[in-house]
Chains A and B, each alone.
Chain A
Amino acid sequence: MSRKRMVRIAVVLLSLLYGAILGAGFLAPYDPAEQDRAHPFAPPTRLHFVDAEGSLHGWPFIYGLIPSPDNFAEYQEDRSRAFPVRLFVSGDHYSLLGFSCRRHWFGIDEPGHIFLLGTDGYGRDQFSRLLWGGRISLLAGLIAAALSLSLGMAVGSVSGYFGGFVDDTLMRLVELFLAMPWLYLLFAVRAFLPLHISPTVAFFLLVVVIGTVGWARPARLIRGVVLSARERKYVLAARGFGASDFYLLRRHILPQTMGVFLTQAALLIPQYILAEVTLSFLGLGVGEPVPSWGNMLGSLQQYHILASYWWMLAPALVLVPVFWGYQVLADFLHERLEFGH
Chain B
Amino acid sequence: MAYLLRRLLHGALVLVGVSVLSFLFVQLAPGEFFSDMRLNPQVSPETIRHLRAQYGLDRALPIRYVRWARSVAKGDWGYSFAYGLPVSKLIWSRARNTLLLTITSALLAWLISIPLGIYAAERRDRWGDRVTVAGSSALLTVPDLLLALALLILAIRTNAFAAGGMTSPDFAELGTVAKIKDVAAHFTLPLAALVLGTLPIFFRHVRAGMIEALALPSIQSARAHGIPRSRILFRYALPAAANSLISLFGFSIATLLSASLLVEVVMSWPGLGPMLLEAILARDLYVVIGAVMLSTFFLVAGNLVADVLLYLSDPRIRRGPA
Complex: A in contact with B (CB within 8 Å): yes
Residues of A within 8 A of B (CB): 172, 175-176, 179-185, 187-195, 274, 277-278, 281-284, 297, 300-301, 303, 306-307, 310, 313, 316-317, 319-320, 323-324, 327
Of residues 273 through 293 on chain B, the ones whose CB sits less than 8 Å from some CB of chain A are: 276-277, 279-281, 283, 285, 288-289, 291-292
Whether the Cβ atoms of A195 and B149 lie closer than 8 Å is no
Whether the Cβ atoms of B143 and A323 lie closer than 8 Å is yes
> How many whole Å from B62's CB to the nearest CB in chain A?
17
Interface code B129-146, partner A: CB below 8 Å = 1, 0 otherwise?
A: 000000001001111111
A192 nearest CB neighbor, chain B only: B29
Whether the Cβ atoms of A188 and B288 lie closer than 8 Å is yes
- Bound: A185/B258 CA distance, A: 9
A318 nearest CB neighbor, chain B only: B146
Whether the Cβ atoms of B146 and A184 lie closer than 8 Å is no
Query: In the complex, what residues of A have CB within 8 A of residue B140's CB?
Result: 323, 327
A192-B28, A303-B156, A307-B157 as given contacts; A181 in contact with B145, CB under 8 Å? no
A190 nearest CB neighbor, chain B only: B280
B287 nearest CB neighbor, chain A only: A191
- Bound: A195/B277 CA distance, A: 12
A282-B265, A300-B149 as given contacts; A192 in contact with B26, CB under 8 Å? yes
Q: B17, B153, B276, B299: which contacts A187 (Cβ < 8 A)?
A: B276
Query: In the complex, what residues of B have CB within 8 A of residue A316's CB?
Result: 143, 145-146, 149
- Bound: A6/B29 CA distance, A: 46
Whether the Cβ atoms of B288 and A191 lie closer than 8 Å is yes
B266 nearest CB neighbor, chain A only: A301
B51 within 8 A of A: no
Query: In the complex, what residues of B have CB within 8 A of residue A306's CB?
Result: 149, 152-153, 156
B10 nearest CB neighbor, chain A only: A175
Whether the Cβ atoms of A192 and B25 lie closer than 8 Å is yes
Sample of 19 further A-B pairs with CB below 8 A, known A188-B288, A195-B281, A323-B143? A179-B300, A180-B18, A181-B296, A183-B259, A184-B258, A185-B292, A187-B280, A190-B280, A191-B283, A194-B31, A274-B143, A277-B143, A278-B145, A278-B262, A281-B145, A300-B149, A303-B164, A313-B150, A319-B146
* The 6 residue pairs across chains A and B that have the minimum distance between CB atoms: A192-B29, A183-B258, A181-B257, A316-B146, A191-B280, A324-B141
B153 nearest CB neighbor, chain A only: A306
Whether the Cβ atoms of A181 and B143 lie closer than 8 Å is no
Interface code B287-314, partner A: CB below 8 Å = 1, 0 otherwise?
A: 0110110011001100100000000000
